[in-house]
Amino acid sequence: MSNMINVALPKGRLGEKVYDMFEKAGFECPSIKEKNRKLIFENAEKGVRYFWVKPSDVAIYVERGAADIGVAGKDILLEYEPDVYELVDLNIGKCRMAVAAPKEFRDNPQKTLKVATKFSNIAQTYYNSIGRDIDMIHLNGSIEIAPILGLSDVIVDIVETGSTLKENNLEVKENIVPISARLIANKTSFRFKSEKIEFIAREIAAQTEADK
Ligand code: PRP
Residue nearest to atom 5 of ligand 1 (CA): 159
Nearest to 52 by CA among 41, 62, 39: 39
| Residues 133 and 168 grouped into a single domain | yes
Ligand 1 pocket test, pick from 144, 145, 160, 170 with the greatest ligand atom count within 8 Å of Cβ, gives 160
Contact 163 CB / ligand 1 (< 6 Å): yes
Gyration radius of the chain over CA positions: 19
| Residues 118 and 65 grouped into a single domain | no
The three-class DSSP label of residue 138 is: strand
Are 72 and 92 in contact by the 8 Å Cβ rule? The answer is no
The count of residues in the chain is 212
Q: What pLDDT does 210 receive? A: 72
| Residues 39 and 63 grouped into a single domain | yes
Centroid of chain to Cα 126:
18
| Residues 166 and 201 grouped into a single domain | no
Atom of ligand 1 nearest to the CA of 143: 7
| Residues 171 and 203 grouped into a single domain | no
| Residues 68 and 172 grouped into a single domain | no
| Residues 18 and 77 grouped into a single domain | yes
Pairing of β 40-43 and β 48-53 = antiparallel
CATH number of the domain bearing residue 82 = 3.40.190.10
| Residues 99 and 32 grouped into a single domain | no
Q: What pLDDT does 60 receive? A: 98
| Residues 19 and 80 grouped into a single domain | yes
Are 9 and 69 in contact by the 8 Å Cβ rule? The answer is no
| Residues 100 and 86 grouped into a single domain | no
Contact 162 CB / ligand 1 (< 6 Å): yes
> In the 8-state DSSP scheme, what is residue 26?
T
Q: What pLDDT does 2 receive? A: 73
Residue nearest to atom 19 of ligand 1 (CA): 141
Helix axes 194-211, 13-24, angle to 10 degrees: 110
Residues of the chain falling short of pLDDT 50: none
In the sheet with 95-102, reading across from the earlier edge strand, the strands are 134-138, 113-117, 154-159, 95-102, 170-179
Nearest to 46 by CA among 16, 4, 18: 4
Nearest to 176 by CA among 148, 157, 160: 157
Contact 158 CB / ligand 1 (< 6 Å): yes
Are 174 and 98 in contact by the 8 Å Cβ rule? The answer is yes
Q: What pLDDT does 209 receive? A: 81
| Residues 122 and 185 grouped into a single domain | no
Contact 161 CB / ligand 1 (< 6 Å): yes
pLDDT in tens, 33-85: 888 888 899 999 999 999 999 999 999 999 999 999 999 999 999 999 999 99
> Where in the sequence is the domain holding 11, given as residue range(s)?
5-93+180-211
Are 124 and 79 in contact by the 8 Å Cβ rule? The answer is no
Domain count for the chain, please give it: 2
Segment (H or E) for 135:
strand 134-138
The answer to whether the pTM exceeds 0.85 is yes
Q: What are phi and psi of 204, to 5 degrees?
A: -75, -40
Q: What pLDDT does 1 receive? A: 55
| Residues 118 and 157 grouped into a single domain | yes
Q: What pLDDT does 36 receive? A: 81
